Amino acid sequence: MTKRAWLAGLASMALASGLLAQGPGPRPAPRGDLESQLKERIGLADEQVEQVRKLRVEHQKAEVQRQAALQVARMELNELFRAPMVDEKAIAAKLKVVGDLEFAVLKARVDQRLALRKVVSPEQAEQIEKLAAVGARMRAGQGARAARKARPGGPRQD
């Protein structure tokens, strides 16, 4: 995975979590228009936006497959626990499979972040990191008010 993949994933996480939404005032580009958001909020060039889009799509496709494999492995592990005769060796083997898949999911996310850093400038990467932090807070339930305070440039002075 390259830095491009990381940027794409981070940008799509930011968009999906409402990171790029603004308060009162001019309406932002539609939430589904990631490319416009990246150009306006982060200042990415057209070439960078296209690279981000490609990374995001590649990462999303692979992530679906990784998550499906992980879910199946967890189901199989649960079935081993429900068996009338518990096979500890089979459980240990399946547990290793689950752990390996979880590691693969995490590594892919890290690789995508590193890929992103190869596409953007250090300043743009910092802005994207701030957007991702806002998204994490919003997902944690701190709401739009916390997001406005934490977004790049600080709170709006309307």
pLDDT at 140: 81
Position 144 confidence tier, pLDDT thresholds 50, 70, 90? low
**DSSP states of 56-75:** HHHHHHHHHHHHHHHHHHHH
Q: What is the mean pLDDT of residues 55-83?
A: 96
Position 73 confidence tier, pLDDT thresholds 50, 70, 90? very high
Q: What is the mean pLDDT of the chain?
A: 77
Instruction: Indicate if the pLDDT at residue 127 is higher than 80.
Output: yes
Instruction: Indicate if the pLDDT at residue 93 is higher than 80.
Output: yes
Beta bridge partners, 3, equal 115
Q: What is the mean pLDDT of residues 126-146?
A: 74
The one-letter code for the residue type at 35 is E
Residue ranges covered by each domain of the chain: 3-150
**Encoded tokens for 151:** 């977004």
**Encoded tokens for 35:** 């490319």
pLDDT at 96: 98
Task: State the greatest distance between any 2 C-alpha atoms of the chain, in Å, as a whole number.
Answer: 66
Report residue 106: phi and psi, to 5°: -65, -45
| 144: exposed, middle or buried (Cβ count in 10 Å: 0-12, 13-18, 19+) | middle
Q: Is the pTM of this model over 0.75?
A: no
**Encoded tokens for 70:** 């992980």
Q: What is d(CA 23, CA 48) in angstroms, rounded to the nearest whole number?
A: 27
**DSSP states of 25-42:** SSPPSPTT-HHHHIIIII
